[in-house]
Every structure is written in structure tokens, then in C-alpha cells.
Amino acid sequence: MAYRRTPAVQARLDAQEQLIVQAATKVLSEAGFAGLSMAAVANRAGVATGTVYKHFDGKANLVTAVFRTVVAREVAAVTAAARTGSAVERVTAAVETFAGRAMKNPKLAYVLLVEPVDTVVDAERLRFRRAFAEAFESAVADGVAAGELPAQDPRTSAAALVGAIGEVLVGPLAAAPHAESVVPQLVTFAIRALGMQVSAERSGVSDADS
């Protein structure tokens, strides 16, 4: 007869797995994908390396779990931010949330967006990049339908925005301090790229910083 875990045992195992994922997230935030090892995660979680392997059969599997946990949370935040308001308000909120949260942990953002990873992890990354784009796509589609935006393909525009924002956050700025003007500049770029009018106040911020 097959062994069935009791609810208490399953709860303990789930809690242990969550602890390991949290530890892996911290290691990724400090050392990146290249610097993550099962031993390092075990040390951070305060468990034996063998315990980590009981939950995850390798580094790629563990990092995939981190992606699913962390990026799902980030996608939810961006989606919620872009849910209501005019096209300008929704796109602005989405950019500010996406970029603002990434800048709070640039090393982890680099891992999630562009750092070379295993194929299985890269597939997870692409899936969540599409999820991020969907938050922008909805705002663009509704803006076009309401006449707030010029005619365009919402999916293409959304994907372009996510790619451009990601490049700015983890490309040129990866090795330099993040200036306070970065997020406002990204918002201005997004508004202009979608064919919307930029307010004089926002345009002034952008021009002064350029």
C-alpha cells in the first residue's frame, strides 16, 4: 500500500520548500544565477544540502521555482497597477510599478530578465515576459478602443515596451547608480512610443534630464 503523507507532514514539507525558495531568492539577489549553488542555498536556508535536493533535483529546477514565485508576484503587482484609469494613467502605473520594483533589487532583476541561464529556466523567463506584456497589452488595447491611442497592434507595442524597459533597467544602468530620473524618463518614453501626448510637466522633467 502506497504511503500517504498526513496533512501535518505535508505542511511541514511545504514550509521547508518555501524556506528553500526564499533562501535561493536571496542568493540570486546577491550572487546571480552564476553564483548560485545548492550548497549556498542550503547554507542560507539553514538546512543540509541533501534536504535541498529532496525538494529540487538540481539548480535549474530550483531557480525555476524562484522564477514562478517571484515573477508571479511582480506580474500581479503590475497587472493590478494597470487595471483602471485612462490609457496614460494605466501605462504610467504599469511602467512605474515594473521599473520601480525592479530597481529596488537590480541584481535579481538582472537574473529575471537577461542573465544567461539554463534552457529550462529561460523558457520560464519567456513565459513571464509575455505575462508582463499582457498587463501593458490590455491598457493599450483599451486605449485604442476608446480613441485615446492611435491605431496599433497592442501585442506588438506591449512586447516592445517590456523589452525596452528591461534593457534600460539591466543594460546601461546595470553597472551604474540608478538616478531618480530613470522611472520618469521611462514613463515619458512609453507615452511617446504609444503615440500619446506628454504633459508639459512630464516633458520638462525629461528634457531637463536628457
Domains of the chain with CATH codes: 11-56 (1.10.10.60), 66-194 (1.10.357.10)
pLDDT given for residue 124 in this prediction: 84
* Cβ contact 22:43 at 8 Å: no
Rounded-to-integer distance, Cα 177 and Cα 206, Å: 18
Rounded-to-integer distance, Cα 133 and Cα 104, Å: 20
pLDDT per residue over 90-111, tens digit each?
A: 999 999 999 988 888 888 888 8
- Enter the pTM of the model: 0.80
Rounded-to-integer distance, Cα 75 and Cα 125, Å: 12
Rounded-to-integer distance, Cα 21 and Cα 121, Å: 15
Distances (CA, A) of 74 to 41, 48, 55, 89, 94: 22, 30, 24, 19, 11
* Cβ contact 112:70 at 8 Å: yes
The overall average pLDDT reported for the chain is 86
pLDDT per residue over 66-75, tens digit each?
A: 988 998 899 9
pLDDT per residue over 180-203, tens digit each?
A: 788 899 999 999 999 987 765 555
